């Protein structure tokens, strides 16, 4: 059987999804797949999942999905996050807040990927953008919001200092996301990644460069644990 071209094979290998918790959507990574392949995968997934995310999706993919009768009224596109949500975004499952911060405006696409992911998983999300170390007073002005959050996702490029600063101010988990924003010596985010990995701030974890999805997913899992303990 030709695995790459047989749609029945793809359906079989999607498997039973009943073991997943309700607030965890299925996720499709779009780069490398054609709009038609993405459509077929999403049709199969939505048959057994109330919410499905398609990440790093283009406007072309979104328009292709809108022309599919079974999906036309179910798809929503978040252009800044480059994400498509199929189904209805769930209501927040807990009062706890995931706070997503950026160092600069250029980091917002990665931050929005994290925010939309966490919202699709049932987390209450707040955003605090453009509070980088170049204007530290903006961060300190919002200190109450930092302290009130359950989990903080901190997105920054350049020298990647912001997560360490935030980690020194709060007693909650901080998820650091290096971005590829910066000049030559930033090495497309490698400098920020290494700086975050070498942070001396406790309670800080680091995901891969530009991986807003991974940060949002992890943040929501941590946030949902608060609900389970209550």
**What is the reported pTM?**
0.86
- Residue 80: φ, ψ to 5°: -65, -40
- Residue 145: φ, ψ to 5°: -70, -35
> Which residue reads 């009768």 in tokens?
69
**Residue pLDDT, tens place only, 96-133:** 999 999 999 999 999 999 999 999 999 999 999 999 99
**Residue pLDDT, tens place only, 30-86:** 999 999 999 999 999 988 888 999 999 999 999 999 998 888 888 999 999 999 999
The parent domain of residue 17 ranges over: 7-87
On whether both 17 and 108 belong to a single domain, the answer is: no
37 close to 9: Cβ distance less than 8 angstroms: no
Q: Which of these three, 66, 87, 108, is where a domain ends?
A: 87
Higher-pLDDT residue of 185 and 21 is 185
On whether both 101 and 83 belong to a single domain, the answer is: no
**Residue pLDDT, tens place only, 147-204:** 999 999 999 999 999 999 999 999 999 999 999 999 999 999 999 999 999 999 999 9
Count of the separate structural domains present in the chain: 2
Q: For the residues 218-222, what does the mean pLDDT come to?
A: 95
Q: Which of these three, 45, 69, 87, is where a domain ends?
A: 87
Instruction: Render the burial of 165-196: b for 16+ CB within 10 Å, e for the rest.
Output: bbbeebebbbbbbbbbbbeeebebbebbbebb
On whether both 144 and 67 belong to a single domain, the answer is: no
On whether both 55 and 110 belong to a single domain, the answer is: no
Does 7 score more than 70 pLDDT? no
165: closest CA among 126, 138, 187? 138
Does 1 score more than 70 pLDDT? no
Q: pLDDT value at position 229?
A: 53
Q: Which of these three, 34, 68, 87, is where a domain ends?
A: 87
| Lowest model confidence (mean pLDDT) among 21-30, 100-109, 221-230 | 221-230
Q: pLDDT value at position 79?
A: 94
171 falls within a domain: yes
């Amino acid at each position: 059987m030709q695995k790459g071209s047989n749609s029945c094979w793809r359906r079989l290998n999607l498997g039973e999804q009943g073991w997943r918790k309700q607030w965890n959507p299925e996720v499709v990574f779009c780069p490398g797949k054609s709009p038609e392949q993405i459509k077929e995968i999403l049709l199969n997934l939505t048959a057994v999942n109330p919410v499905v995310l398609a990440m790093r999706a283009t406007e072309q993919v979104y328009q292709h999905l809108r022309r599919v009768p079974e999906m036309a009224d179910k798809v929503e596109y978040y252009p800044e996050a480059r994400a498509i949500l199929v189904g209805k975004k769930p209501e927040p499952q807990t009062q706890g807040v995931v706070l997503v911060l950026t160092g600069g405006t250029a980091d917002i696409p990665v931050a929005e990927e994290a925010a939309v992911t966490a919202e699709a998983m049932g987390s209450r999300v707040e955003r605090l953008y453009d509070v980088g170390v170049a204007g530290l007073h903006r961060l300190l002005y919002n200190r109450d919001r930092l302290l009130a959050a359950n989990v903080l996702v901190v997105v920054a490029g350049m020298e990647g200092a912001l997560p360490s600063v935030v980690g020194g101010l709060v007693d909650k988990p901080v998820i650091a996301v290096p971005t590829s924003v910066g000049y030559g010596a930033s090495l497309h985010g490698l400098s920020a990644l290494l700086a975050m990995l070498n942070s001396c701030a406790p309670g800080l974890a680091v995901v891969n460069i530009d991986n807003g999805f991974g940060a949002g997913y992890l943040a929501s899992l941590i946030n949902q644990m608060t609900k389970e303990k209550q």
